[in-house]
Amino acid sequence: MGAEPLLPDILSTNLTVVFVGAAPSLAAARCGHYYAGSRNRFWQLLYQSGFTPRQLDATEDREVLRYGIGLTAILPHCISAMNAWLPEPSQQDRRALQDKLVAFAPRIVCYNGKDVYRMCTGAPDVQWGLLHERVGRSAQFVVHSSSGRADRWGADRLYLYRELRSLCLQAAGTRNAPVP
> Which pLDDT band, with edges at 50, 70 and 90, does 77 fall under?
confident
Per-chain mean pLDDT for the chain: 87
Please list the residues that pair with 72 across neighbouring strands: 20
pLDDT band at 26 (very low <50, low <70, confident <90, very high): confident
pLDDT band at 117 (very low <50, low <70, confident <90, very high): very high
Fold (topology level) of 17-172: Uracil-DNA Glycosylase, subunit E (3.40.470)
List the domain boundaries for the chain: 17-172
Where does residue 50 rank: exposed (0-12), middle (13-18), buried (19+ CB within 10 A)? Answer: middle
Instruction: Kindly indicate the confidence band of residue 2, based on its pLDDT and cuts at 50, 70 and 90.
Output: low
Long-range contacts of 57-62 (CB under 8 A, 24+ apart): 58/28, 58/31, 58/33, 58/34, 59/31, 59/33, 61/10, 61/33, 61/34, 61/35, 62/10
Exposure of 49 by Cβ count < 10 A (0-12 exposed, 13-18 middle, 19+ buried)?
A: buried
Provide the pLDDT confidence category of residue 78 given band limits of 50, 70 and 90: low
CB neighbours of residue 37 within 10 Å: 17
Residue 14, pLDDT score: 93
Task: Please determine, for residue 177, whether its predicted confidence score (pLDDT) is greater than 60.
Answer: no
CA distance 180 to 5: 34
Look at the pTM and tell me if it is higher than 0.85: yes
Q: What is the pLDDT of residues 129-170, one digit of tens each?
A: 999 999 999 999 999 988 755 555 567 889 999 999 999 999
Give residue 155's pLDDT: 74
Query: By mean pLDDT, which of 19-23, 38-42, 86-90, 136-140 is the weakest?
Result: 86-90
Average pLDDT over residues 12-28: 91
> Higher-confidence residue: 28 or 178?
28
Residues 6+ apart with CB under 8 A from 160: 128, 129, 141, 142, 143, 144
